[in-house]
Amino acid sequence: MTSKNITLTSEEKNQFETEGFVIIKGLFSEEDLVEIDQTFEEISNQIIPGHFTPDLNPENTDPLKRYPRVMHPHRFNETAKRFMLHKPVLNILSELFNEEALAAQSMFYYKPPGARGQALHQDNFYLKVEPGNCIAAWTAMDQTDQENGGLLVVPKTSNYELVCPESSDSKESFTTHYVKPPRDRKPIPAIMDRGDVLFFNGNLIHGSYRNKTKTRFRRSFICHYANSSATSIGSPYRPLFRADGSEVNMDANPDGGPCGIEYDSPYVH
């Protein structure tokens, strides 16, 4: 595992504070990425109730039924937990939070060719970290761009209040919620190379479009973190974890909920 001691430049920290996001390169070695690849390739051929329930019927025509997202893999897989607590990522998070970061959630998205995207939304609408906020660390396992459904971010919305979502278009989004961006703010693509990590604030409006390619996956390993001074979080994200893997049992915030409710969700959170 890489032991690079990468710190934020003043420009990168300023970008996060003003734009709500920043992309950092070099936080995972190729050796790290290959281990994550192998782990989730093995998981992709299993059924893990409550975490990953693929439709293995060869006649299935929905790519997201064959490759749904993996929810909370750190709860059943030690490799996923280890990389959720990846020290270079936690170091960056501690700079962004200005305090210790606590790991709350892990996910893996396969996003195969033809897969629907996820409508624009705000993460802290679900995690409900209080007081404070969550920060996502979104690691690109493949090159991501507009063609294969890379992430879209709406700059300067990180200081906006949480918005009550509208209904999404089920033909284009696999989750039910949609947050309409302000008139003066437009989503822009986060173009990323394999191994890049996008950090973004829990109020930032973000999402993705369909994977329009015929051959390219857009895999990503995504974790959410809370500031250690927070006192409550939505119950699906408890317990949280310190860098050493020890548990933190924060109070349950009754306003929290699962991270993006799916159409015909097979998951129990």
pTM, entire model? 0.93
Flag whether pLDDT at 66 surpasses 60. yes
* Angle, CA 193 vertex, CA 215 and CA 118 arms, to 5°: 65
Q: Write down the architecture of domain 10-253 according to CATH.
A: Sandwich (2.60)
The predicted pLDDT at position 262 comes to: 56
Q: How confident is the model at residue 219 (pLDDT cuts 50, 70, 90)?
A: very high
List b or e across 67-89, with b for residues whose CB sees 16 or more CB atoms inside 10 angstroms.
Answer: bbbbbbbbeebebbbbbbbbebb
Q: With 60 as the cut, is the pLDDT of residue 23 above it? A: yes
Q: Which amino acid is at 120?
A: L
Average pLDDT of the residues in 210-237: 97
The larger pLDDT score, comparing residue 18 to residue 266, is at: 18
The closest alpha carbon to 120, from 187, 28, 20, belongs to 187
Q: What residue spans of the chain are helical by DSSP H?
A: 10-19, 30-43, 63-66, 78-84, 87-97, 124-127
Q: Which helix (H) or strand (E) holds 102?
A: strand 101-109
For residue 261, pLDDT over 90 is answered with no
**pLDDT tens digits for range 194-204:** 999 999 999 99
Tokens 């059943």, located at residue: 76
Tell me the domain boundaries of the chain. Answer: 10-253
For position 263, what pLDDT does the model report?
45
Q: How confident is the model at residue 266 (pLDDT cuts 50, 70, 90)?
A: very low
CA distance 201 to 151: 14
pLDDT at position 3 is 45
Lowest mean pLDDT segment, chosen from 54-68, 106-120, 170-184, 249-263: 249-263
Evaluate if residue 87 carries a pLDDT over 80.
yes
Copy the structure tokens of residue 238.
């408890």
Nearest partner of 227 among 265, 201, 188, 257, judged by Cα: 201
- The proportion of the chain whose per-residue pLDDT surpasses 90, expressed as a percent, equals 86
**Helix, strand, or coil (residue 153):** strand
- Section 127-155 average pLDDT: 97
Instruction: Give the model's confidence band at 20: pLDDT under 50 very low, under 70 low, under 90 confident, else very high.
Output: very high
CA distance 89 to 118: 24
- Whether the pLDDT of residue 214 is over 90: the answer is yes
Specify the range with the lowest mean pLDDT, choosing from 63-67, 211-215, 220-224, 253-257.
253-257
Express each pLDDT in 3-16 by its tens digit: 457 899 999 999 99
Please state, rounded to an integer, the average pLDDT across all residues of the chain: 93
